[in-house]
Amino acid sequence: QVHLVQSGAEVKKPGASVKVSCKASGYTFTGYYMHWVRQAPGQGLEWMGRINPNTGDTNYAQMFQGRVTMTRDTSISTAYMDLSRLRSDDTAVYYCARGSSSWDLDYWGQGTLVTVSS
Amino acid sequence: QSALTQPASVSGSPGQSITISCTGTSSDVGTYNLVSWYQQHPGKAPKLMIYEVTKRPSGLSDRFSGSKSGNTASLTISGLQAEVEADYYCSSYTGRITFPYVFGTGTKVTVL
């Protein structure tokens, strides 16, 4: 069965960077997009972007352009999301999710809490 | 990029049916049949409930159904039971390069 397992919680200072990993298993990693979605405390879901693990091509939401980098290591079926110049309003749970060709996200990781605080 | 508009809360009694609306624009919901619905229980990751407007993932209860009319998509939950009490989010492909995917504002479903 499909599993997406994310790295553990992080606490960062404003201005720092964070890198969250997402290890996939149970399917062909290069056959599906990997999306990243975040959710601030008590708030809704916010789409950040996606990566094609086969080609490395990325699409980022405009509001994260210049601050987010999504990469992958196909040898270990792992996707990464790097967010730089962190601010307090970046405090959120960050999810990876497998995406199909029709843009639905059918499997999700357990989430990684990133706390930005001085 | 504006989120799709959902009612903040919807409630119903056990056994009843409820419908959650998701209003977008002619550029997203109105153009593409790529609307999905997600269920999220507190402290848990979202779960895909409906994709491509009307399709259910394998094994999902047929008490959940989706539809679309114009710029508004809808999720109907029939035969309400306590376990469906959760937050629900719609989403849509937008076709825009700067923001190709958008979620709804979310709806809290309460079973009275």
pLDDT in tens, A4-36: 999 999 999 999 999 999 999 999 999 999 999
Mean pLDDT computed over A31-43: 97
Q: Which helix (H) or strand (E) holds B69?
A: strand B64-69
Distance CA B76, CA B48 (A): 14
Chain B partners of A105 at a C-beta cutoff of 8 Å? 36, 38, 46, 48, 91
Structure token pair of residue B56: 């259910």
Total residue count of chain B as it appears in this document: 112
**Considering only CB atoms, which residues of chain B are within 8 Å of chain A?**
1, 3, 34, 36, 38, 40, 45-48, 51-52, 57, 89, 91, 93, 97-106
Mean pLDDT computed over A103-112: 96
Lowest mean pLDDT across B45-54, B90-99, B102-111: B90-99
Chain B partners of A44 at a C-beta cutoff of 8 Å? 3, 89, 103-106
pLDDT at B1: 61
Q: What is the dihedral of CA B24, B28, B30, B36, to 10 degrees?
A: -80
**pLDDT tier at B84 (50, 70, 90 boundaries)?**
very high
pLDDT at A33: 97
**pLDDT tier at B12 (50, 70, 90 boundaries)?**
very high
The full 3-state SS of chain A, as one line of letters, equals: CCEEEECCCEEECCCCCEEEEEEEECCCHHHCEEEEEEECCCCCEEEEEEECCCCCCEEECHHHCCCEEEEEEHHHCEEEEEECCCCHHHCEEEEEEEECCCCCEEEECCCEEEEECC
Chain A partners of B105 at a C-beta cutoff of 8 Å? 44
pLDDT in tens, B20-60: 999 999 999 999 999 999 999 999 999 999 999 999 999 99
pLDDT at B76 over 80: yes
- In the Cβ-directed half-sphere of B19, how many Cα atoms lie within 13 Å? 9
Mean pLDDT computed over A50-61: 96
Is B45's CB within 8 Å of A62's CB? no
pLDDT in tens, A62-95: 999 999 999 999 999 999 999 999 999 999 999 9
Distance CA B49, CA A108 (A): 13
